[in-house]
Chain A
Amino acid sequence: MGKSEIIIRLAGEGGEGVISAGDMFTAGAARLGYQVFTFRTYPSQIKGGPAWYQIRVSDKSVLSMGDGVDVLIAFNEEGYRDHIGELNKDGVLIYDPDTVTPDGKGHTSYPVPFNEISRKKLDFFRGKNLVVLGTMSALFGLDPGSLEGMVRSRLARRAELLTKNLESLDHGYNYARKNIEKSDPYYLAATEKISRVVMGGNEAVAAGALAAGCRFYGGYPITPATEIFLTLAAELPKVGGVCFQAEDEMAAIGSVIGASIGGSKAMTATSGPGLSLMTEFLGYATIAEVPCVIADVQRGGPATGLPTKNEQSDFFHAVYGGHGDAPRIVVAPGSVEDCIYQTINAFNLAERYQMPVLLLSDQSLSHRTETFLPPDLSHVRLEERLTANGAAGAEFARYKLTENGISPVTIPGRPGTYSSPGLEHDEKGAPTTASKWHIAMTDKRFRKLDLAAKEGAASPRYGVRNAEIGIIGWGGTEGAIREAVDRAVAKGYKVAALHPKMVHPLTKGEIEKFVSPLKKVIVPEINYQGQFAHYLRGTLGIDVVRLNKYDGLPFCPGDIFQKIEEVI
């Protein structure tokens, strides 16, 4: 009996096939019905520099990248040295003896001459990733026939490459079969072939936007958010929308606000540096009450920081960034699939409360792959902003002081003109500096935020009912937290976790209820400052135990589990 859950890490240099071999293994495994969770990291350059790709594959559900590494495939010496320390007890090293000289201590290892096979035997160095894939399939039980089918469909239109690629796959497979005497426990048992979606967080955000009715995107490329832009560039024109490549982030969000005033559901996506440039317009969307969605796929900061690494350090900026008393809503998806739902949620909130909504994703969430059953979006409720028809020839009182703060808006093309103001204004939108109007309008804008907090959906809760230790997390750490809670509960610890999706404003009552019976509350987040912990303390007066890391990588369940044991 093999171990039917494997964490495989491919490590080497960017541009060497690390990423493509990982991608193909992932696609192949998913095709066969396995569930997959990947993580990738690569340098912020096109060629060279250390890259690695981790695949956790299982016949059961996987929610995080897992702990440690079961199988390390080292493409070069650096890949070996940097990662061998993370190999688990029964772990296996696979390496190319051409480029790696292992010190041979304490673990199973299989040399495979990937370079020699691809370069000398096949005279096709580009096929090295397929040689690796063939070897992996032989060693860990992925049906080679199915992998072949996948390669065929990928290269359907490149016949000249197909033969060589299939040959490479074959050679890798046969080499392992003939030359390696398998002495490790990892082998995927056959599983039921269920068709699952294999997707990354950025594509999922784009899917959510399309489903929510977004018909305008204005953007400027930035890692790790670009795929949202690229997916919508391909898809929006098909559904009557426009995807606009702006000259910078100010133009991107400006165009989004223009389109939204025109009646479109509109969004932009960026990362930290771009969010900084958009910040003045965020305030504009608040004062002019323009619905819009801004996805911030967080990366390491400040400035250019760590463009390709993971961090959750834009929470403060999302909630408080910019000048003035400027309410906005912030939502944070917890998994790839959740990116779909939280993006739809973001659009609904923007429409309902007529204010900017930030969607806080992160590098790990955006560039990981998860497998999930095809979502059924037919029952998802979509919201539209409250509109009105003005009287022909009359100006419309766009900013009526209503009880809940939400005022009906007219859409250009229909009677009831008004000017959308960046200045403080009266009910008609006309500029005024009178104290009474600034007070009335500030109150109105914050009434909407209060309402959003009151109407907020319940947050998912995991773990035992009578918990003594609680975890409050946010964003892409959800899976690792859940697995840590499962592990703790299995060990008999009384632990539960709450994972709010609308992270600002918070649904206060629910969180207080969760916290009140607890002895300790742990707040894990990937930043130095403990931004969410600060926020919880500041807004709800909750004292928490912080768990922070800022190494550019996501949490493993073990990191969180260890903290649970520490505070118990």
Chain B
Amino acid sequence: MVETAALTLRDYRTDVKPIWCPGCGDFGVLSSTHKALVQLQLRPENVVIASGIGCSSRLPYFVKTYGIHGLHGRSLPLATGMKLARPDLTVLAYGGDGDMFSIGTGHTPHAARRNVDITAVCMDNQIYGLTKAQTSPTSVRGYKSKSTPYGSPDEPLNPVLLALASGASFVARAYSARAKELTDLLIKGIQHKGFAFIHVKSPCVEFINTYDMLDRLVEEMPVDHDPSDLQAAMNLAVTEEKVHVGVFYESERPVYEEVAHSWFKPTDFDADAFFRRF
């Protein structure tokens, strides 16, 4: 089938109205996702977006591609199965900080080290939005919410550092309010061959409005940062004075599904031959 007309934003929008509060950072992520798909001209039927549960994880309903709104924390296994079975498709996984770094944390490092060619986007608002403002694994120490009324005693988890330490072959950070940069990073992540992790700071206006703070702290990567230098990427990831956005790390490694499909030239299952071996 020859498609002549270029795909536009309209081709990726659905009729389902986002449930997010006005001003929620997730709108920025959605809009940049639409734009990235337009710029890449990926046909909607060739893209699958898997997600977990949370405000952020509603995103697949608002993008006219195939979607899987899964279970809390389980976007990565769903995306992994999809990509291994269908390497021809572009597969993305979206989720919140609770989704990917609390209930689903068990999956995140494994997806990273395996290097399945999927793009994982963590929409981090440092809170459990959907369940109405409980402390999340990225909430800062001392943070007071209804679940930690006397201040959270926990040290927060560092998503970028964890992704780097787990062997993700592409690690970046973006800020939902800086649309152009976010779109570019999504495009890079999708184009990257292997597991791409994009940590998006996506404020929750309803329960913890971090826009002012982020506007102050967000800064581009130092110009001399070398994204092939893992150590330098880790150093930047632990910097507390600034929230760096851009590509922390990028490298090329064998992709899981290519290896897994390379061992044999597939043939049909020969039942008779199989039973003869027993």
CB-CB < 8 A to A430: which residues of B?
Answer: 15-16, 61
Binding-face segment, B28-36, B197-205, B260-268: B260-268
CA gap between A375 and B271 in the complex, in Å: 9
> Looking at the complex, which one of B65, B85, B269, B278 makes contact with A239 (CB distance below 8 Å)?
B269
The reply to whether A255 and B53 form a contact with Cβ atoms under 8 Å apart is no
CB-CB < 8 A to A377: which residues of B?
Answer: 271
CB-CB < 8 A to B53: which residues of A?
Answer: 422
CB-CB < 8 A to A413: which residues of B?
Answer: 45-46, 86, 88-89
Instruction: Output the least CB separation between B67 and chain A (Å).
Output: 3
CB-CB < 8 A to B82: which residues of A?
Answer: 258-259, 261-262, 412
The reply to whether B74 and A250 form a contact with Cβ atoms under 8 Å apart is yes
Q: Give the secondary structure class of A's interface.
A: mixed
CB-CB < 8 A to A416: which residues of B?
Answer: 45
On whether A423 and B274 interact (CB within 8 A), knowing A247-B106, A257-B81, the answer reads no
CA gap between A377 and B88 in the complex, in Å: 31
Interface bracket on A: 35 or more
On whether A258 and B78 interact (CB within 8 A), knowing A210-B274, A419-B60, the answer reads yes
Report if A218 contacts B (CB, 8 A).
yes
Binding-face segment, A195-203, A304-312, A451-459: A195-203
> Looking at the complex, which one of B11, B70, B261 makes contact with A284 (CB distance below 8 Å)?
B70
With both beta carbons as reference points, the residue of chain B lying nearest to A372 in the complex is identified as B275
Report if B144 contacts A (CB, 8 A).
no
Most A CB atoms within 10 A — which of B15, B65, B70, B264?
A: B70
> Looking at the complex, which one of B44, B71, B110, B266 makes contact with A422 (CB distance below 8 Å)?
B71
On whether A237 and B264 interact (CB within 8 A), knowing A216-B85, A262-B48, the answer reads yes
The reply to whether B66 and A242 form a contact with Cβ atoms under 8 Å apart is no
Report if A281 contacts B (CB, 8 A).
yes
Q: Residues 43-66 of chain B: 1 if any A CB is under 8 Å from the residue's CB, otherwise 0?
A: 011101010010000101100111
**Chain B contact residue count (CB 8 A cutoff):** 53
Report if A421 contacts B (CB, 8 A).
yes
Instruction: Output the least CB separation between B114 and chain A (Å).
Output: 9
The reply to whether A420 and B67 form a contact with Cβ atoms under 8 Å apart is yes
CA gap between A263 and B64 in the complex, in Å: 19
- Interface positions of A from 392 to 441, Cβ below 8 Å from B: 392-393, 395, 412-423, 430-431
The reply to whether B67 and A251 form a contact with Cβ atoms under 8 Å apart is no
The reply to whether A203 and B278 form a contact with Cβ atoms under 8 Å apart is yes
CB-CB < 8 A to B69: which residues of A?
Answer: 419-423, 431
The reply to whether B274 and A255 form a contact with Cβ atoms under 8 Å apart is no
On whether A216 and B266 interact (CB within 8 A), knowing A255-B78, A430-B61, the answer reads no
The reply to whether B14 and A395 form a contact with Cβ atoms under 8 Å apart is yes
10 CB < 8 A contacts A-B: A207-B275, A237-B264, A240-B264, A258-B80, A262-B89, A263-B86, A374-B276, A393-B44, A415-B45, A430-B61
**What residues of chain B have their CB less than 8 Å away from a CB belonging to chain A?**
11, 14-16, 44-46, 48, 50, 53, 58, 60-61, 64-71, 74, 76-86, 88-89, 106-107, 110, 257, 260-261, 263-264, 266-269, 271-272, 274-276, 278
Question: Given A259-B81, A259-B86, A262-B81, list of 17 further CB < 8 A pairs?
Answer: A197-B278, A211-B269, A238-B266, A246-B110, A250-B77, A251-B107, A255-B78, A256-B81, A258-B85, A264-B86, A280-B71, A375-B275, A412-B48, A413-B89, A417-B64, A422-B69, A430-B61
